[in-house]
Amino acid sequence: MNWIYEPWPWYVAGPLIALTMFLLLFMGKQFGMSANLRTKCAALGAGKAADFFKFNWKDERWNLMIVIGAIIGGFLASNYLTNTTNNKVAISLETITELQEDYGLKSAGDSYLPKELFDTAQLTDIKVLSLLLIGGFLVGFGARYAGGCTSGHAISGLSNLQLPSLIAVIGFFIGGLLMINLLFPLIF
Amino acid sequence: MKKYIAYLSIGIFFGIIMFKSEAASWFRIYEMFRFNSFHMYGIIGSALALGIIGVQWIKIKDVKALGGREMQLNKKQPSIPRYLIGGILFGLGWALAGACPGPMYVLIGSGYPAIILVVFGALVGTFVYGLFRDKLPH
């Protein structure tokens, strides 16, 4: 059972993600992790500002349970299902060199998230603060505009051979490649 | 109540997978968009391969969900601008924040309070989309 404490290889994780989707399908639901953001807006009273949020959010409470579960899962995995204290990620040597030398992200290869962006102490840096907020904004806006995110389109939609999901996933990659390969050298 | 516990358990299961597979790591997303590793492609590809097989099986055998309900395998509305523009904006954010909506929550639990800013940004983004929805090409 020692493998469980090591990072899980792709051929374990991928099939388990498919299993998650099928469990939800059997429960009569669709796998998608971004719709809950709309539910939260509705629960916070956004229905007063836009019709898009005028629906009975209580019908979508199951979605919020998944979110709470995901938070608990992250807690359990990072505290009890790991060998190391810093949860470092086994990215390739090439990636580590790039991040350290080109972008000054010295924590590459030695932590789960770049400390330069996600350490609480960094939040006094207005640039870091803006990057996190803008990144989140684009994820939320883009996911709703495209009608789904990685789970909704790349896994659920493509599994169901939906052409719109293929277009969305191509969009995800155009955006991601632009950000990392063209915008990162300008930002960092 | 039983149902909510089932959803909570599925969420916990999913959260553990996201963290342990490192799909919730900013570094893995960066690496994917640099084509420096097969890891993320392996995760998405194998999930998708099994997903396609399973969904086709469900359709051919007309398998029902619990309680005899129809499976939620809805067709998506055809459009190009909506999925392409929305997709590109999402991709820009995904790469910058290094997290998509699932992993964001996982990282809150893993002890990275800064990620709450990303979640807050995503909530604002969702809200702003709702405000301007009628003015955007769909």
Does any CB of chain A come closer than 8 Å to the CB of residue B125? Answer: yes
Q: Residues of A51-81 as b/e, b for ≥16 C-beta within 10 angstroms? A: ebbeeebeebbbbbbbbbbbbbbbbbbbeee
Computed over every residue of chain B, the mean pLDDT equals 96
Q: Which of A171, A118, A123 is nearest to A147 (CA)?
A: A171
| Mean pLDDT value across residues B45-54 | 98
Query: Are A30 and B72 an interchain contact pair (Cβ–Cβ within 8 Å)?
Result: yes
pLDDT tens-digit series, residues B88-131: 999 999 999 999 999 999 999 999 999 999 999 999 999 999 99
> What is the band of A178 on the pLDDT scale with cuts at 50, 70, 90?
very high
Give which of A24, A154, A148 is closest to B49, Cα–Cα: A154
Which one-letter DSSP state was computed for residue B24?
T
Within 8 A by CB and 6+ apart from B28, the residues are A89, A91, B22, B37, B39, B40
Among B5, B27, B46, B108, the residue to mutate for chain A (most A Cβ within 10 A) = B27
Share of chain B above pLDDT 70, in %: 100
pLDDT of A86 above 90:
no
* Partner residue opposite B47 with nearest CB, options A15, A28, A146: A15
Q: Is the pLDDT of residue A84 over 80?
A: no
Determine if the pTM surpasses 0.80: yes
The mean pLDDT of chain A is 95
pLDDT of B1 reads 81
In the block, tokens 């553990």 appear at B16
Residue B2, pLDDT above cutoff 90: no
The answer to whether the CB atoms of B44 and A154 lie below 8 A apart is yes
Among the partner residues A20, A117, A159, nearest to B14 by beta-carbon distance: A20
ipTM at complex level: 0.96
Does the structure show a pLDDT above 80 at A85?
A: no
